[in-house]
Each structure stands twice: as C-alpha cells, then as structure tokens.
Amino acid sequence: MLTLKVLRDDPEKVIAKLAVKNFDAREIVERVLELDGRRRALQTESDAILAQQKVKAAEIGKFMKQGLKAEAEAAKAEVAEMKARSGRLLAEYDEVTAELDAKIVLLPNLPCDLVPEGKGAEDNLVVKMGGPEVKLPEGALPHWELCKKYDIIDFDLGVKITGAGFPVYKGKGAKLQRALINFFLDCNTADGYKEVEPPVMVNAASGFGTGQLPDKEGQMYHANLDDFYMVPTAEVPVTNIFRDVILQNDQLPQALTAYTPCFRREAGSYGKDVRGLNRLHQFDKVEIVRVEKPEDSYAALDAMVAHVEEIVNKLGLKYRILRLCGGDMSFTSAITYDFELWSAAQGRWLEISSVSNFETYQANRLHLRYRDENGRTQLCHTLNGSSLALPRVVAALLEDNQTPDGIVIPEVLRPYTGFDRID
C-alpha cells in the first residue's frame, strides 16, 4: 500500500498519478489525510495527558508523605479523570486507525513515469517483437483439436472429474508439461535464482501482503473452514517468505524461483477466447521473485525481462513484449511488461508472462525492510515475473510446430521430454 508519507508530501501528485490508472483517488486521499491528521492529534493529546498523569502521581506521593490526605485525594480524583479521558481518546484513536487502514488499502500503487496512459489492452505499447515467422501446413488445427487428435490433453475428462477449466494431461502431454516445468526451473536457477517449493495454500495475511486481498477475493478459491486461499500465483507464498523481515544490507538482492499449480476462479469467463488452454481455473506456472534495494530495482526489472525473453527465444516461438498502459495494469504494480506468443492457428496473441516492479507497495504491506549502509531501515522494492505460465506456452507450441506428420518438439526440450515429436 502507499505510505502515509507519500500521501502527506504531495497529495495532488498522488491523485494525478492514479488518474493514469483511471482511478479517481481524490475522495479517498482527502479522507485518509483527514483521518491521519485526527489520529496524530489524538496521539498528541494522549501523550500530554500521560505526562500530566506522571506529574500528578508524583504529587500524590508527596502529599501522602506530608500527611495531606485531602490534597492527595483531590489529586487522585484528577488522575482518575485523566485515565477516563485517556481511555476515551484511546477508543477514538483505535476507531480512526481502523478506518484509516481500511481506506488506504483502497488506493492502488502509483504507476511509474514510464507507464503510458490508456484505458485498456488496446492502448498497451509494443516495445519489441521477436521469434520466427510461423508457417502452418494446410488444414492446420487449433491446439484443442490437436490435443484430441493426439490424445495428450483431455478437456472433457477434466469436466467430468471437476469442471470446466481443469484439464487432464495424458501420455506425451503430461510429459511435455513436466518437461517445461523442469526446463523453466533450470533456466531460472542457472541465472542465479534459488529454487523453493512453497505451500499452495496461504492465509489471509499472505494474501494481503502481496495485494491479492482485499482486491481479488472473487478470483481466489477459498477454504472457508480454515480460512486458507489456494494460490493464484507462486508470487504470493514466495514473496511472503520475507513478510515481517528486516534484511541486512549485504543480504540484497534476493532472487527466488518456484513452481506451483495455480488456481483462479476467473468468474464470468466465457466465449471462444477461453477455449482449450486459453484460460483455465487450474494451471501450472513457474515464477521468479526478486527483493531489491530501491536504487537497483529498475535494472533488476530490465534483467528479468531479458531473462524471460531468452527463455522464449530458446523455445523458438514468435513473441512480442508490451509495456502495459495505466488502464490495463494491476492494482499493485508500478510498471508491468507482458509477454505474448503468437498463436498461428487461432490468429491471436496469447499472454504468457507478466513481469512487474511493485516498488515499495508490497513491501509496505509486508513490513519488508532492509538496513542500509548507515544502519537505517528502509522499505525494499519487490518484483516478480512469470517464467513462464504453461498453458498458453503449450497452446502456441502445439499449434506453431504442427506438421502433417505430427507436432515437432523444440530441440531444447528434447532432453527433458525424451521424444522429438508427438504423433
């Protein structure tokens, strides 16, 4: 969440910045500042009363020693009134703090200066395109038909077992899935990311720490009895490793990678754009997470984008990189780059990765700090990226590599799959 200092220092700048995200922040910002002012006034008044209580307590002791009982009783009555007043102030302080906390989390992160203005996906900025041109054979099929033809992913069986959006991977399809997970993890660890295997259920504090709560309850599967949430991305448990942590200066940067199945309700999703692997409720994803000093985070962001691009190039797929406009960014991000693959059989681009810098927004929620070279504690910057999300990678890989004799497996994956084609 935004820090109070940012809001106090230049509220008009905050309002103008959030307008880039098409968010009208004026009413919330003004209310937060009003509550902040009232809370600080209550704290000042409470501190003054406490100081007076100490003085009166000393007077009571003196009066008792001097045998001045009437004066001592009068002083005790004053102390009792001060305590009662202090209690009322404390109750109001708690009420104001609760409303302040509830209001400030409604404010999205500020977009950085590189973020273009825009309302939605059509206004995103294409910053790079790469990969080979795709030439499909006559009678090319979309991936859901290829999956059925070669019996590698069964969508109907998933509906029987669970429901739509929960496919069953079979035979070479299951092996390809496992191969991609291992390939992505190996690419990440070779680039210096430490592999971790986190839980795939998190508590509400973890969801709040990375910004999924209270913003995305409707997208997350919730185990009501235990109040646990199925992870929508490994970003949540991995970033929460650092919740309530103060890192030492020489402990930065931190770079972690993890594979998890991911779960998203995606309520209301329908139509041709969600067919097959295009949008699932359960899917596999490998994630990279970094914790950086503020002055290093944008160089780290560029390195993360270059790293994801290298993986896509190794797979030999046509891609483009987008810088998201304000209207298409997440609630928590300061800047996001999306990677999309060209699905030749569908004739459309498929998002496979988002790489984002959150600056201090998540760290403030997480109470994630570091001690700088002068011994002062400062908020860290957090970053994360998909490296990569599997479903649409598999969709593009199947479609773009189909031939009349089967689907050719990219050479880089063959040591992982143990086969060079699906036929």
Tell whether 111 is covered by a domain: no
Q: Tens digit of pLDDT for each residue in 30-55?
A: 999 999 999 999 999 999 999 998 89
Q: Report how far residue 327's alpha carbon sits from residue 4's, in angstroms, rounded to the nearest whole number.
A: 24
**Minimum mean pLDDT among 66-70, 120-124, 359-363, 390-394: which range?**
66-70
Tell whether 99 is covered by a domain: yes
The number of angstroms, rounded, from the C-alpha of 213 to the middle of its chain's C-alpha atoms is 10
Helix axes 69-104, 26-65, angle to 10 degrees: 160
Burial of 49 (0-12, 13-18, 19+ CB in 10 A): middle
Residue 68 pLDDT: 87
Q: Report how far residue 273's alpha carbon sits from residue 262's, in angstroms, rounded to the nearest whole number.
A: 20
Percent of the chain with pLDDT over 70: 98
Please indicate, yes or no, whether residues 88 and 14 belong to a single structural domain of this protein: yes
Tell whether 115 is covered by a domain: no
Residue 61 pLDDT: 84
**Average pLDDT across the chain, whole number:** 95
Name the band, by pLDDT with cuts 50, 70 and 90, for residue 57.
confident
Distant-in-sequence, close-in-space partners of 317: CB < 8 Å, separation ≥ 6: 131, 341, 342, 393, 396, 397, 400
Structure tokens at 52: 């007076």
Q: Tens digit of pLDDT for each residue in 133-161?
A: 999 999 999 999 999 999 999 999 999 99
Name the domain boundary from 75, 104, 133: 104
**Nearest one of 201, 204, 198 to 239, comparing CA atoms:** 198
Q: Report how far residue 242's alpha carbon sits from residue 113's, in angstroms, rounded to the nearest whole number.
A: 27
Name the domain boundary from 48, 72, 104: 104
**Structurally, how many domains does the chain consist of?**
2
Please indicate, yes or no, whether residues 282 and 391 belong to a single structural domain of this protein: yes
Residue 269 pLDDT: 52
Q: Is 167 helix (H, G, I), strand (E, B) or coil?
A: coil
User: What values do phi and psi take at 376, rounded to 5?
Assistant: -90, 145
Put simply, whether the predicted model's pTM sits higher than 0.85 gets the answer yes
CB 369 within 8 A of CB 362: no
CB 406 within 8 A of CB 421: yes
Tell whether 112 is covered by a domain: no
Residue 72 pLDDT: 83
User: What values do phi and psi take at 298, rounded to 5?
Assistant: -80, -30
Structure tokens at 180: 């991609």
Q: Report how far residue 44's alpha carbon sits from residue 420's, in angstroms, rounded to the nearest whole number.
A: 72
Please indicate, yes or no, whether residues 128 and 15 belong to a single structural domain of this protein: no
Please indicate, yes or no, whether residues 274 and 315 belong to a single structural domain of this protein: yes
Tell whether 116 is covered by a domain: no
CB 374 within 8 A of CB 280: no
Name the domain boundary from 74, 104, 134: 104
Q: Within 13 Å of residue 68, how many CA atoms lie on the same side as its CB?
A: 11
Please indicate, yes or no, whether residues 151 and 79 belong to a single structural domain of this protein: no
Q: Tens digit of pLDDT for each residue in 325-374?
A: 999 999 999 999 999 999 999 999 999 999 999 999 999 999 999 999 99
**Nearest one of 349, 340, 325 to 388, comparing CA atoms:** 340
Q: Tens digit of pLDDT for each residue in 268-322?
A: 455 556 799 999 999 999 999 999 999 999 999 999 999 999 999 999 999 999 9
**Minimum mean pLDDT among 64-68, 120-124, 268-272, 288-292: which range?**
268-272
* DSSP-derived secondary structure letter, 134: P
Which domain, by its residues, includes 24?
Answer: 4-104
Please indicate, yes or no, whether residues 90 and 152 belong to a single structural domain of this protein: no
DSSP-assigned beta bridge partners for residue 356: 336, 384
Q: Is 183 helix (H, G, I), strand (E, B) or coil?
A: helix
Tell whether 136 is covered by a domain: yes
Q: Report how far residue 138's alpha carbon sits from residue 141's, in angstroms, rounded to the nearest whole number.
A: 9
Please indicate, yes or no, whether residues 57 and 149 belong to a single structural domain of this protein: no
| Span between the terminal Cα atoms of the chain, in Å | 51
Q: Report how far residue 154's alpha carbon sits from residue 276's, in angstroms, rounded to the nearest whole number.
A: 9
Whether 216 shows a pLDDT value over 90: the answer reads no
Please indicate, yes or no, whether residues 235 and 209 belong to a single structural domain of this protein: yes
CB 345 within 8 A of CB 141: yes
Whether 404 shows a pLDDT value over 70: the answer reads yes
CB 321 within 8 A of CB 335: no
Tell whether 109 is covered by a domain: no
Strands 194-195 and 254-263: parallel
CB 165 within 8 A of CB 275: no
The number of angstroms, rounded, from the C-alpha of 174 to the middle of its chain's C-alpha atoms is 28
CATH, residue 369: 3.30.930.10
